[in-house]
Amino acid sequence: MRLATIRCALVIASLALTSLCAQRPLPPPDSSLLPPVPAKGIPAPTGTHVPLPKPINLKVLSPDIAITDLERTMVGFNIGLGQDCTFCHAPKPNVDPATYDLDYASDANPEKLMARIMMQMTNDINSKYVARVAVALPHRTPPVTCGTCHQGMIQVPPFPRPNTKKDRHHKDLIPR
């Protein structure tokens, strides 16, 4: 319960920060926290992965990020939001998006702007708050990721308020 309260407070505090829109590169992700990328030469399931070209137009991630780190980061987003690449990346002109022939550099899809803002927010939460909490509780402080809040859904699911004994003593204080 305390960890959920801390997480909620971290999210609220970070949303209030004016630094959300600052364009600063993130360090490469900790690869131990992300799912593995298929090895070269092993085809991914149809419609789920194509090799990425050299990245351009990176505004939050480091422009020097390795392709494998970028792929792992993108897979982490896919899992965290329960979406595929077409959710943020626009298709190339006159191409069926189902072919995954995407224009990764394009900013035409507004979801990509939102993703950048959310990446900055997550980076701020991890660097400014989780890092400080980890000093006191290193064994209980995983980094915040998209999946921490989104849990595999586009919209953050509502928090299910547990029915506890404390609720009975504070019925007048519980929001409805």
Number of Cβ atoms within 10 Å of the Cβ of 112? 17
pLDDT tens sequence across 46-75: 455 566 678 999 999 999 999 999 999 999
Strand partners, 91: 102
Counted residue by residue, the chain has a size of 176
pTM score: 0.63
Q: Which pLDDT value is given to residue 72? A: 93
Buried b (16+ CB within 10 A) or exposed e, 26-38: bebbeeeebeebe
Contact status, residue 91 vs residue 103, Cβ threshold 8 Å: yes
Q: What is the pLDDT of residue 134?
A: 86
| Host domain of residue 90 | 2-35+49-157
According to the model, what pLDDT value does residue 164 have? 64
Question: What pLDDT, on the 0 to 100 scale, is given for residue 113?
Answer: 96
**At 28, which CATH number?**
1.10.468
How many domains does the chain fold into?
1
**How does pLDDT run across 24-41, given as a tens digit for each residue?**
444 555 544 444 444 444
73 assigned to some structural domain: yes
Name the residue type at position 144.
Answer: V
Cβ neighbors of 48 (< 8 A, separation 6 or more) are: 84, 100
How much is the average pLDDT of 114-122?
A: 96
Where does the chain have alpha helices with state H? Answer: 2-16, 67-81, 110-124, 131-136, 146-150, 165-169
Task: Report which of residues 91 and 168 the model is more confident about.
Answer: 91
Is residue 152, in this structure, part of any structural domain at all? yes
Per-residue pLDDT at 50: 61
Would you say residue 106 lies in a domain?
yes
Q: What secondary structure, in 3-state letters, does 118-161 show? A: HHHHHHHHHHHHHHHHHHHCHHHCCCCCHHHHHCCCCCCCCCCC
| Position 2, amino acid | R
Q: Which of 10-24, 66-80, 100-114, 156-170 has the lowest mean pLDDT?
A: 10-24
Which residues lie below 8 Å from residue 103, measured CB to CB, with a gap of 6+? 89, 90, 91, 92, 93
Quick check: is 176 in a domain? no
